[in-house]
Amino acid sequence: MTTSQEVPVTADDAHGRVAELRAIREEVRRGPSEKATEAQRAKGKLTARERIDLLLDEDSFHEVEGLRRHRATGFGLEGKRPYTDGVITGWGTVHGRTVFVYAHDFRIFGGALGEAHAQKIHKIMDMAISAGAPLVSLNDGAGARIQEGVSALAGYGGIFQRNTRASGVIPQISVMLGPCAGGAAYSPALTDFVFMVRETSQMFITGPDVVKAVTGEDITQNGLGGADVHAGISGVSHFAYDDEQHCLEEVRYLLSLLPQNNRENPPAVECADPVERRGDSLLDLVPADGNRAYDMHKVIEEIVDDGEYLEVHERWATNIIVALARLDGQVVGIVANQPASLAGVLDIEASEKAARFVQMCDAFNIPIVTLLDVPGFLPGVSQEHGGIIRHGAKLLYAYCNATVPRISLILRKAYGGAYIVMDSQSIGADLTYAWPTNEIAVMGAEGAANVIFRRQIAGADDPEAMRSRMVKEYKAELMHPYYAAERGLVHDVIDPAETREVLIHSLAMLRTKHADLPSRKHGNPPQ
C-alpha cells in the first residue's frame, strides 16, 4: 500500500489539481512581486494582507473571490491580469464576532478601482448587510482605473448606494491608509467612522496640482488633506494616529463597543468597578463659580468604568466632547460641554459634531448621557452668517428624534436655547438630574438683571450698587439650585459624589425602554 505522497501526480488527476490550486493560492497570498512589496514598505506602509492580519483575530480571515481577475482590454490591460484585481475581500472575527473587510492592495494597479475590483467590493458589502455584521474598509487606492473608463466610475456609484443602504443598519468604518482622491473620498464620508494615519493617508476632492492651477494656492498633499487637517480642521476624520498598528488596534477597540447591527444591543462585559463607587473628587473638580473653567474629561473619567472611554472627534470642535464608554459594563454614549474650550459654548461645529454622534448612538441602540455646562450659543456675525440657526437645529433634531434611553445631568450653567437643545426634559430626555451647583435660566443673572431692571439701574444714584443688588435678587428668585426641581423640570437634585450610581441605576431601569415613532418614510432634518 502506498502513501499519498507516493502517488504519481499529473495535472489531470485530483492530486495534481490540488497541487495547482495550492500554487495559485500561494501566488495570490504573495501578491504581484517582491519589488512591489518593497516599494510599499519604503513608503512606511504595510501590505493589505498584513493590515487584515492586524485587524482580525488570528487565523480567522476567510477570503472571498481571491482568484478574481479583470476582463478589460486595451491600454495593455489584457496582458496584465493579476489575481484579486487589487482588492482583498472577505470576513473574519474581531474579539470573536464576525466582521467583513475589504482592503485595497496598492501593489496592484495602485489600488485603483476597476469593474471587477468594484464588483468584489459590492459583493462583500451585500454580504455584510445580509449577515448583519460590521464592515471595515482599509483604503489605499489611487481612485478610478482610468484605463477602464466609465465602467470604473459606475463601480463607485454602486459602493455609494450600498454605503447609504447600510447606514444605520450595520456599523461602517473607513480606515484611510493611503491616498483617497476625487469621488473615492465620498464613500468614507458616508460611513460612521473615519480613521487616518499621519503622513501616509490623505483625502481630498481635488489634489494640490489642481488647486494650484485653479486658485494659485501652493500646498502639499498633507497640508491639503492629511490626517491632522481632517481630524482638527475639517472634521472629516474622527481619529488620527501616528502608525498603522496603533490605528488598527483602536479600530478593534471601537468594534468592541458597537453592536453587530441595529437589531442588537452593544456587547456588555463584566465590570469590576463598583456601581456604588463614590466620586467625592467631583466636588473639587467642578468649581461652583460658573466663570471658572475646568476639564470635563476629568469628570467623565471619574464617572465611567475604570476611567476608560473612547473620545470621538477629539481634536475637532473641542468645546464639546463626544465619547463611548461603559457604565457597569454597559456601553453608553456621552455628550458633554467642555468649559475648558470656549467656555463650553455651542457653535456651528460643536452642534454638527454632537448631532452626528447622537444619531449614531440612536441608530445602534446606545443610550445617551448628556453632561451640561453650557452658557449658550456662540454670538457673532460669522456664526449667524454661517447658519448657526440651521446647524444648531441639527442637534435639536437629533435629540428629539432619538428613541434610545436618554439621561441629562446639569452640572453648572444651562442657559437659554442651548439648555433646551442639550437634551432637556422638554425635548424628551427620559430622566434629568442636576447637581446643587446648577444654574438653569434664560440667561446669566448679570445679563438678565440688565434687561429686566434697566430703568431702575439707570435711575439709581449708584447704578453699580443697584445692578449688584438686582443680580442677587434675580439669582435668589429664579436661579437657585432647586428652582427647576420645584417645577418638575428636573427629576432630582443629586449629590455629585453619587453621580455614577445614579446613572447606572437609571440606565438599568431604562434598558427595556420602547418608543414608537410616527409612521413616515423619513424625516427632513435641517441641513
Cα–Cα distances (Å) from 138 to 202, 284, 372, in that order, read: 13, 44, 37
Which listed residue (72, 118, 317, 418) is catalytic? 418
The length of the chain in residues reads 527
Identify the active-site residue in 16, 66, 110, 182.
182
* Residue-by-residue DSSP string for 28-86: HHH-S-HHHHHHHHHTT---HHHHHHHHSPTT--EEESTT------STTGGG---GGGG
C-alpha cell recorded at residue 179: 491616498
Residue of 132, 168, 207, 417 marked catalytic: 417
Q: d(Cα 282, Cα 307) in Å, to the nearest integer? A: 13
Cell of 27: 501566488
Residue 459 annotated to the active site: no
Backbone angles phi, psi at 518, to 5 degrees: -60, 150
Grid cell listed for 49? 494582507
Catalytic annotation on 183?
Answer: yes
Paired sense of beta strands 368-374 and 431-434, if any: unpaired
Q: Using the 8-state DSSP alphabet, how is residue 465 labeled?
A: H
For 459, residues 6+ apart whose C-beta sits below 8 A from its C-beta are none
> DSSP code of 231?
I
Least Cα distance to 269 among 329, 328, 326 occurs for: 329
Secondary structure, 3-state, 442-454: CCCHHHHHHHHCH
At 80, list the grid cell: 496584465
Q: Which of 183, 232, 235, 387 is catalytic?
A: 183
Does the annotation mark 417 as catalytic?
A: yes
**Contact status, residue 368 vs residue 360, Cβ threshold 8 Å:** no
Q: What angle do CA 517, 518, 520 make, to 5 degrees?
A: 115
CA dist 337 to 193, 375, 394, 419, 436, Å? 21, 10, 16, 11, 18
Whether 235 is catalytic? no
User: Angle at which helices 115-131 and 150-166 pack, to 10 degrees?
Assistant: 10
What residues are annotated to the active site?
Answer: 182-183, 417-418
